[in-house]
Amino acid sequence: MRSDRELERGDLEADAARRGRRGNELEVGRFAERRSWLDRTTDEVASWFGNTAAMRRRQWDEASGDHTGKGPVRDVDADTRIIDELNQRLTVDSELDASGIQATAHDGVVTLDGSVATLAGAQRAEGLAMAVSGVKQVVNNLVVA
């Protein structure tokens, strides 16, 4: 009686031979060739009857698909996202020294507190805040210092 590991090794060698490769050259992961419909269906049925190698190949098939646009799950509320984006915009703006600005948000209403060097800086910060998606209103409490 052959062990499961020997059966898996035999399945891998048979699969590699069928594809014209030796066992150590078998491609895996997202760079592997897409397996035929017949191979995938055969493994589906074989996995129903406990063939562990077939189950593993099915998992490889599922993992090697196209995952474009699938990012990590982020359960961030809208106000946190608004503040993160606004802080990023304020930081990268070359015309504004935003080191004295503190931004808060509640239900889409952004409040800017702190100080800026010029009136133009206060207006620019308000404009950057309004440009963020999801902002309904901006309360500009910036002081020109």
Any bridge partners for residue 48, and if so which?
A: none
pLDDT of the residue at 61: 80
Chain-centroid distance, C-alpha 3 = 40
| pTM (predicted TM-score) | 0.51
Residue linked to tokens 């304020």: 90
Q: Give domain status of residue 71, yes or no.
A: no
What is the span of the domain harbouring residue 139?
Answer: 78-144
89 and 53 within one domain: no
CATH number at residue 104: 3.30.1340.30
Q: How many domains does the chain have?
A: 2
pLDDT tens readout for residues 52-102: 999 998 888 877 766 777 777 776 789 999 999 999 999 999 999 999 999
Q: Give domain status of residue 70, yes or no.
A: no
83 and 59 within one domain: no
Q: Give domain status of residue 72, yes or no.
A: no
